[in-house]
Amino acid sequence: MPSITFVHPDGRAQRVEASNGESAMQAATRQDVSGILAECGGNAMCATCHVYVDENWLARLPAIGDDEDALLDGAAAERQANSRLSCQIKLGAELDGLVLRLPERQT
Ligand code: FES
């Protein structure tokens, strides 16, 4: 069972346990991580699950999809090279220990 860490804008780290196959967004919302709104429920339509992937993990994630890429351009917080949508990050043992930073805002 992978565990991942969300780092809030104030630097506070929040570790959550995830199930294999669950998305990082689902793990966050199930365990009340503030800062992940996920208004569209994980359908890659809202960009309110925007996260910044820790640089050490970036290369281990699957390539960004076209829909995700387009949506990130409209994210409320500044898009950066390590921006991803947490609903598109499927968790498994290979991502145990993943670190995701939360943006200042999602809307
Ligand atoms: S939850 Fe809406 S795009 Fe991720």
pLDDT tops 90 at residue 1: no
Question: What average pLDDT score do residues 97-103 get?
Answer: 98
Q: Report how far residue 8's alpha carbon sits from residue 60's, in angstroms, rounded to the nearest whole number.
A: 22
The 8-class DSSP code of residue 61 comes to S
Q: What is the pLDDT of residues 12-26, one digit of tens each?
A: 999 999 999 999 999
Q: Choose which CATH entry (3.40.50.720, 3.10.640.10, 3.10.20.30, 3.90.1150.10) describes domain 3-101.
A: 3.10.20.30
The 8-class DSSP code of residue 3 comes to E
Q: Is the CB of 25 under 6 A from ligand 1?
A: yes
Q: What is the pLDDT of residues 46-77, one digit of tens each?
A: 999 999 999 999 999 999 999 999 999 999 99
Q: pLDDT category, 41, cuts 50, 70, 90?
A: very high
State in Å: Cα 29 to ligand 1 middle.
11
| Ligand 1 pocket mutation pick from 49, 100, 106 by most atoms within 8 angstroms of CB | 49
